Chain A
């Protein structure tokens, strides 16, 4: 009954006034300044400038989200920037630390491999069987911190991690944005099961090989972050796989399909995150009464997370990344942000605001520091 009591307006909302938008942006502006200039941050002038640029950038994007009522395109600017600047800062710090982008076996044996979030699902079974973390890194120096950040973000955002925190997905989202129209439009929906298959295969292989199998054999982003120093035939084959997967899934297919193909068809971490969508408070709902299935949302979704069946059920698939593309694309405002446990049609803008405050605060904290590092690297090269 509560649902019927508050039927939302059936017109696209007018842009907010500048004053109201500034007021809504103020908490994020304070948060960005705190994150960029808190005690303990790097105090050299270039890092300070980089932090200031990042703070302005993140605040401006949030302001535009508030002002225009649109989420996707402003988030995409942040996400592509994150995806492009991550390799810049990361490769530079690797080259400074060890003189090469490739990680030699000696570094792995010494436990100095930087830990990203990708292997998290692969560590669970070996840890359960042997109480050992099968990653050549240090728990206190990298693994624990990354797992902590991942857990905090995941509990709040669910698979929103893949749209607001992942520092890999931005490259393919940027490539997918280049062509005006998709060259390939008919995509077999069964490819959506790909990430689950990769997850299953990699979890089993990680247990068998006692190593994070995805990192050593399949990660496309090794091509732009930290490849394995190829000193034998196996190393050569591994690097060839990394480069081929990167070229195919991150460059060519996103360009042809205008979709995030690596995320939709391949990423095992994405499949793992989908499970956490079940516990996240935020979701995307479709008002079945207002929806005239024009499939604009399905076409707009970069992750193939909407099907005719799911639209008929009034919800996105569990792989939804909460990027907001479908909400922005719906001409009848039938696709809305929603907080679980509340009425389906009640105050979707309020739900959007609550989600965006959580997501953007974490994006500033996690992605913002990566962007600042990338900007600082560029400033260093400029002189």
Chain B
């Protein structure tokens, strides 16, 4: 608690005093606010997660069910990333503003991991066209189930940790709450609000998969991975060179 910025402490005390008068109403207002904030931030979330989500979804098998499963795992892991970061940041008092050094280190490592996972995912999708273009039964025989869950889970977790602008906005607001549990609930409702915007991605299941779509998706993943890798390297080198 000592590390938390002074301004946040003042606000927390003021908020706590007001909340004492009407505790239930205050809690529901907080979570309603989190939900609305999530809904309002949805497009920014889509923009931030799009480079990871869209090509990896296109590298999936066609059909609503695989896409719904993928999105569920991705969003669940993203929520886990949110909550993990929020809990740690709350404990060290850095939810409002993470100091520059650790932030750059965290972002650099997350970007490198994101690049690495994307490359692995693009590589592991190499046989997907053959499987997708075959009949349903053959697809099931050939399916690698580990990849199906581990890929979206890793990508979701890392995008959850990658401090996108909507997440920072929610963090500033959550820091004003009275306890870590309330902050985590705030993030949960914020996440629900943003997740509504991800539902249309299930319709990607309608896009027929053939060699062209799978290859384009894999190549795009590799390119985006290179972007994240070069950004991660630049952040880590820059941190060492310039000392921030």
Q: What A residues does B242 contact at CB under 8 A?
A: 232
Q: How many whole Å from A8's CB to the nearest CB in chain B?
A: 34
On whether the beta carbons of A201 and B51 are closer than 8 Å, the reply is yes
On whether the beta carbons of B223 and A198 are closer than 8 Å, the reply is yes
**Binding-face segment, A104-112, A179-187, A203-211:** A203-211
- A204-B50, A233-B241 given; A197·B227 CB < 8 A: no
A201 to B115, CA, bound (A): 13
Contact of B219 (CB < 8 Å), options: A194, A204, A217: A194
A193 to B220, CA, bound (A): 10
On whether the beta carbons of B238 and A232 are closer than 8 Å, the reply is yes
On whether the beta carbons of B241 and A207 are closer than 8 Å, the reply is no
> B66 an interface residue at 8 Å Cβ cutoff?
no
Interface string of A233-248 (1 = CB under 8 A from B): 1100100010000000
Cβ < 8 Å to B, chain A residues 217-261: 217, 232-234, 237, 241
> B55 an interface residue at 8 Å Cβ cutoff?
yes
Majority-rule SS of B interface residues: helix
On whether the beta carbons of B47 and A197 are closer than 8 Å, the reply is no
Q: Which residue of B lies closest to A190 (CB)?
A: B215
On whether the beta carbons of A190 and B211 are closer than 8 Å, the reply is yes
Q: Which residue of B lies closest to A197 (CB)?
A: B219
Q: What B residues does A22 contact at CB under 8 A?
A: none
Q: Which residue of B lies closest to A218 (CB)?
A: B223
> B163 an interface residue at 8 Å Cβ cutoff?
no
Cβ < 8 Å to A, chain B residues 196-228: 211-212, 215-220, 222-224, 227
Cβ < 8 Å to A, chain B residues 37-91: 43, 47-48, 50-51, 54-55
Contact of B215 (CB < 8 Å), options: A197, A210, A232, A237: A197
On whether the beta carbons of A197 and B234 are closer than 8 Å, the reply is no
> A200 an interface residue at 8 Å Cβ cutoff?
yes
A249 to B180, CA, bound (A): 53
Q: What A residues does B211 contact at CB under 8 A?
A: 190
Q: How many whole Å from B194's CB to the nearest CB in chain A?
A: 15
> B182 an interface residue at 8 Å Cβ cutoff?
no
On whether the beta carbons of B215 and A233 are closer than 8 Å, the reply is no
> B233 an interface residue at 8 Å Cβ cutoff?
yes
Q: How many whole Å from B30's CB to the nearest CB in chain A?
A: 28
On whether the beta carbons of A204 and B230 are closer than 8 Å, the reply is no
On whether the beta carbons of B238 and A197 are closer than 8 Å, the reply is no
> A337 an interface residue at 8 Å Cβ cutoff?
no
Majority-rule SS of A interface residues: helix
Contact of B50 (CB < 8 Å), options: A190, A208, A237: A208
A190 to B224, CA, bound (A): 19
On whether the beta carbons of A129 and B47 are closer than 8 Å, the reply is yes
> B92 an interface residue at 8 Å Cβ cutoff?
no
> B237 an interface residue at 8 Å Cβ cutoff?
yes
Interface string of B85-125 (1 = CB under 8 A from A): 00000000000000000000000000000000000000000
Q: What A residues does B48 contact at CB under 8 A?
A: 208
Q: How many whole Å from A206's CB to the nearest CB in chain B?
A: 9
Q: What A residues does B218 contact at CB under 8 A?
A: 197
Interface string of A166-201 (1 = CB under 8 A from B): 000000000000000000000000100110111011
Q: Interface centre among B43, B217, B224, B231, by most A CB within 10 Å?
A: B224
- A193-B219, A197-B223 given; A204·B51 CB < 8 A: yes
Q: How many whole Å from B85's CB to the nearest CB in chain A?
A: 19
Q: What A residues does B51 contact at CB under 8 A?
A: 201, 204-205, 208
On whether the beta carbons of B224 and A201 are closer than 8 Å, the reply is yes
A241 to B227, CA, bound (A): 11
Q: How many whole Å from B203's CB to the nearest CB in chain A?
A: 17
On whether the beta carbons of B50 and A233 are closer than 8 Å, the reply is no
Question: 30 A-B contacts, Cβ less than 8 Å apart?
Answer: A193-B216, A193-B219, A196-B216, A197-B215, A197-B216, A197-B219, A197-B222, A197-B223, A198-B219, A198-B220, A200-B54, A200-B216, A200-B220, A201-B51, A201-B224, A204-B54, A204-B224, A205-B51, A205-B224, A208-B47, A208-B48, A208-B51, A210-B47, A217-B230, A232-B238, A233-B234, A234-B231, A237-B230, A237-B233, A237-B234
Q: A129-B43, A197-B219 known; 14 other A-B pairs, CB under 8 Å? A: A197-B215, A197-B217, A198-B223, A200-B55, A200-B217, A200-B220, A201-B55, A201-B227, A207-B50, A208-B51, A210-B47, A234-B234, A237-B230, A241-B230
